[in-house]
Every structure is written in C-alpha cells, then in structure tokens.
Amino acid sequence: MEEMSKQLVYPSSLRLVDNIQFQFGQSLKPAEDSQYKKIINAIKKAYVLNVAGFKKDEMCAATALFEGGK
C-alpha cells in the first residue's frame, strides 16, 4: 500500500482485512470436489505457513482493485 501511494497509480477500491475477518473468510470457502485441488490447496497452505513463515493467527489480507487500461 505504501508503494502504491509513492507512485501515481491509485486503486479504485482498497480493502484491508484483519485476522478475524481473514479466518472467517477462509471458513466460508466451499468444499473442493476434486481430489487434485485438495492436494494443491494443502501444498499451498503448507508453503505459506511452514516455508514462508507466516503465522496463522497473525495473517491479514489486502486487496486492491484497479480499473481502466494499462
């Protein structure tokens, strides 16, 4: 977010989600039907928590929406 404010590129929507909202959003995800997707999602989660070093109880998220051409 700080980097975007330094440049002359402004999002049309910017949203910050705290840890409680992030965990709630994760719990609302629909169940995966495909066994392949379940395995891929488990690998992604293991990477984020174990390799990248993020803490499950401290994570938050930010989304930025840009409109228009490049």
In tens digits, the chain (70 residues) has pLDDT values of 777 778 777 888 989 999 999 899 888 988 888 999 999 999 999 999 999 999 999 988 888 888 887 6
For residue 21, what are the contacts with CB-CB under 8 A and spacing of at least 6? none
Residue 8, pLDDT score: 78
Say how many C-beta atoms besides its own lie within 10 A of residue 11's C-beta.
13
> Considering all CA atoms of the chain, what is the largest pairwise distance in Å, rounded to the nearest integer?
44
What type of residue sits at position 53? G
Per-residue pLDDT at 50: 95
Residue type, 12: S
Query: What pLDDT score does 24 carry?
Result: 92
Report CA 50 to chain centroid distance, whole Å.
16
